[in-house]
Chain A
């Protein structure tokens, strides 16, 4: 029973992106994130894995063989609809976008990552935190979803690694 508040930085202002040598990271705020689970969900919903590049503003990420995370998709009724389980998790995951020629190098500071090692799932551990990692729109732009409570830790971790990315 003690006050440890001073040991933990107050939540940062996410309005300012992090910038480093050849890399930039910024919080992004999807309008909607929805978990959809069903035995045949991957057959019905096209979902991205690694290292494919997600195109379009509305997309789904493959989390496992019976689950996707739909990002900025249409509104859906929650619960079990007879075919699939749907839960809105828009605020459950903080999303950070990393881009630039050194973006992959920054990601590699957190996990073993290779464009030549594909994965059906975007779920992995990075910097010791659970994340969904994928490429978005272009080949050097990455998005990371992490449980919201770890958003600040991931943000601070990226900032710390960017400081080390000097030649």
Chain B
């Protein structure tokens, strides 16, 4: 092919010149060009190499249908791999390079691979690289395979914009049919959005030439645009509808320029009109992949849209009537065009990388370009995404939209209506919900499909080097289903997803098997319709915003105190303080808490209020423990169970009044517990007599725990008697701190005297400052979650989900009373009396001790017995106890409660250690510290 720029015509701006480079050489183009059109205008014919054989390839298509010209493109230090040259707008200074070729597409050193084609047919690697081990070959094959190269740099601010939108009518395609439909609907008062993937409206009008309804295409287009916008319609150009999803959702990707991430619009359309046009498909003949063999439709597109005449001496091979206007336009532009009948005999492209002719039967025709039209294939991808059916049309020799998916209709060439006037009438009728008037089609076609057994190498899939022989091989090996054929040969799996190859491939399979084409069927159409960057789906939801954590009101204070912050149950919380190594900091905090006091930010602890006349009966029902007898001002520890009886959450419940409770569930379980409460409230209870309010985040909760806790609270000068007799363990008081209501709960997760102080979050900083100041006088200070975890483990207190699993029941934890005695119904009751619940080998909570001098046991290690080691349990928590100065551990062990004193083997990663089963509580088992 020897392309040239025409003097006039097209949408390019000839007054401005854009400089760019391709494979190391400089070229010039104009605004309005794509990389492909500019290269064609410069006479460049080899733009790429095929995937497997490294065959030289030129441009086949004019837009998204081109499988050949894939380039790595750079501009201003930013690089994008695998750009389709036919859809990449040209910009000044672009540096482009063909993928899969070195040093250039024209002179690729791997071009010699083509000589080995006889041994590289479909599935060759399945058969060749089996022995001795595929993994020996895999690294080399992976290095050789692939297309563009990622340069490893990130593009600054490459973030997709994402927006949701809705409309009455979405028209996909800004060609004549789409515009006519959009205008008719908009003028009828519909909220219309029209999307067009080119920067300019017009679709196929540029390649068609001639007048539209008596006007020049430019005038007609301007009139439609003005009318649509005047009627309130919205036109989105450079926007591709890449997928249709549930309930009328259409994904739209809008190009925002090179090295700038596209915009994603999630468009919810009541109705979608598919006006996506039709593609010219290739003919299958010997050496049909030569550079210079091009789609007739594409040649007309380059001439009409970009002012590029792709060749001077042209042979046209067409089996249909659609290309007549293109032939006339090419002749008018100065090309010498010879039309040959592809039915005249075997066809072979002549010449090497430079096409110099074509053999058609006995006739040999010299040419520099061979323009091919195998028939129009409607672009029905979106139709199939939405679940629409396809019907085979014998007259159009193509799959056309059949039974429509809900809320969708097809118009124009996408619906097989190839005649312009008929398409306009159809579009206007369908836009208004009317049936289109029947019209006779002027489109004619003579079927011409691949012929099995034909001589020569005949390409079906240009990018992936799938030939007719590969289809025949697949059929011989019984990969006859099109889905198997696709996967065995990689047909249609290239970047173009079979837009040019699928019809030829399935027609070839049909011919091989002697079956009709519709019986063979198509492969599955899946989004995205064209390649889109993964960034499109990503958008601003990245980094911290990918899965944001909840943040504490006191985070600034924690950071100032040198807190190490980590995720604990969906919150960013202090693990430890002071900027020291974790181990040292945690040890020091535990020792401080045991000797003086620790101040702990427990704000995420649940504060779920249950109110109403039936509140008492309700909490009694949702708790395993009896709560109805709880008196106002008191607190009770208890479990919530799943219906199967497994422990779901543990925590305390406080009764503020006869019809007012506060549930303090685990920090990470607040949302789950609230949902559980809501579902039980509405199921089996009277929802008008019970109300559940989650007030967790209104309250900040600071716990002071340790032997000096009472003295530290005393420094706050509260109007409250803190003595153990007046304010005993498991009781609750309300008072005022600095003019703000303060709730104090005497509960302990450490085994020491503890007070949990809750006040509105806005005042948390005041309380934190007062407590830390008062604490400092007693040698007390902040402690993080890690120290708290050690403190509670010393006491044998569990953390749900860590020391329990999905099968642990309360009687496994030593809380068997309510199971036997509770008279009223409660959630999980039946599950606690099942066969599994009564099994003799249930895993029960125990402690473990290790011989003196031994290190801590690994968490997760198995507890094993017998000659053939069998796991009877696992270590759930394990620490070095700073208080006891020895390792401690908690475990779930089969029949554990009855095995205290037994020595077990502890297996972990092939190593075996010894441990003795103990009660869970390792510190102060009588609770003397708790009530000190």
Contacts and interface: CB of A to CB of B under 8 A. Distances in A.
Give the bracket for the number of chain A residues in contact with chain B.
Answer: 35 or more
Q: Which 4 A-B pairs have the closest CB atoms?
A: A149-B550, A153-B548, A3-B564, A160-B540
Nearest to B543: A7
Interface residues of B, number: 60
A80 interface: yes
A28 to B, nearest CB: 14
B565 A4 contact: yes
A128 B545 CA distance: 10
A8 B762 contact: no
17 contacts: A1-B575, A2-B566, A11-B551, A35-B695, A38-B691, A67-B691, A80-B611, A80-B615, A90-B698, A91-B762, A108-B164, A129-B548, A147-B550, A149-B552, A157-B540, A164-B160, A165-B161
Given A88-B695, A112-B266, A165-B161, A5 B540 contact: no
B761 A5 contact: no
Interface of A: 1-5, 7-11, 35, 37-39, 66-67, 78-80, 85, 87-93, 105, 108-114, 117, 127-129, 147-153, 156-157, 160-161, 163-165
A37 B545 contact: no
B540 A164 contact: yes
Nearest to B690: A85
Interface string B823-846: 000000000000000000000000
B544 A153 contact: yes
B165 interface: yes
Given A8-B544, A8-B549, A8-B565, A1 B695 contact: no
A3 B545 contact: no
B166 A150 contact: no
B695 A164 contact: no
Contact of B612 (A2, A80, A92): A80
Contacts of A128: 541
A138 B473 CA distance: 70
Interface in B645-677: 656-657, 659-660
A20 to B, nearest CB: 12
Contacts of B711: none
Interface stretch (B127-135, B391-399, B553-561, B636-644): B553-561
Contacts, number: 165
Nearest to B571: A149
Given A108-B163, A109-B162, A91 B697 contact: yes
A105 to B, nearest CB: 7
B544 A9 contact: yes
Contacts of B553: 91, 148
Contacts of B566: 1-5
B448 interface: no
A151 B159 contact: no
Contacts of B695: 35, 87-89, 92
Nearest to A2: B566
Given A108-B165, A149-B571, A160 B698 contact: no
Interface in B527-577: 539-541, 544-545, 548-553, 555-556, 559, 563-567, 571-572, 575
B693 interface: yes
A90 B582 CA distance: 36
Find the residue from A89, A91, A93, A111 having the highest chain B CB count within 10 A: A91
A111 B552 CA distance: 26
A79 B660 contact: yes
A82 B657 CA distance: 13
Given A8-B549, A105-B163, A148-B698, 8 more contacts: A3-B564, A3-B565, A8-B565, A35-B693, A85-B611, A87-B693, A127-B540, A153-B548
Contacts of B860: none
Nearest to A5: B565
Nearest to B693: A87
Contacts of A67: 691
B760 A90 contact: yes
Contacts of B305: none
Contacts of A149: 549-552, 571, 604, 697
A139 to B, nearest CB: 18
Nearest to B567: A4
B696 interface: yes
Given A5-B559, A89-B693, A108-B164, A79 B564 contact: no
A38 B786 CA distance: 42
B459 to A, nearest CB: 42
B245 to A, nearest CB: 13
A39 B613 CA distance: 13
B609 interface: yes
B544 A156 contact: yes
A149 to B, nearest CB: 3
Contacts of A164: 159-162, 263, 539-540
A128 B700 CA distance: 25
A129 B570 CA distance: 13
Contact of A151 (B268, B551, B564, B691): B551
Nearest to B686: A39
A150 B762 contact: no
B688 interface: yes
A35 B692 CA distance: 10
Nearest to B613: A80
Nearest to B610: A85
Interface of B: 157, 159-166, 263, 266, 268, 539-541, 544-545, 548-553, 555-556, 559, 563-567, 571-572, 575, 582, 604, 609, 611-613, 615, 656-657, 659-660, 687-688, 691, 693-700, 760-762, 786
Contacts of B571: 149
Contacts of A117: 166
Contacts of A147: 550, 697
A78 B698 CA distance: 13
Contacts of A1: 566, 575, 582, 786
B661 to A, nearest CB: 10
Contacts of B660: 78-80
B163 A66 contact: no
Nearest to A9: B544
A150 B575 CA distance: 20
Nearest to B266: A112
Contacts of A127: 540-541
Nearest to A6: B565
A7 B613 CA distance: 47
Contact of B545 (A11, A113, A156): A156
Nearest to B572: A8
B545 A153 contact: yes
Contacts of B572: 4-5, 8
A92 B700 CA distance: 10
B164 A66 contact: no
A91 B565 contact: no
B747 to A, nearest CB: 21
B737 to A, nearest CB: 15
Given A8-B572, A87-B609, A66 B551 contact: no
A112 B161 CA distance: 15
Contacts of A88: 695, 698, 760
A127 B165 CA distance: 14
A85 B697 contact: no
Contacts of A80: 611-613, 615, 657, 659-660, 691
A32 to B, nearest CB: 11
Nearest to A130: B671
A1 B784 CA distance: 11
Contacts of A148: 553, 697-698, 761
A129 B540 CA distance: 14
A79 to B, nearest CB: 4
A89 B698 contact: yes
Nearest to A94: B697
Contacts of B700: 91
A91 B163 contact: no
Nearest to A89: B698
Contacts of B688: 39, 66
Given A80-B612, A112-B268, A164-B159, A92 B697 contact: yes
A7 B556 contact: no
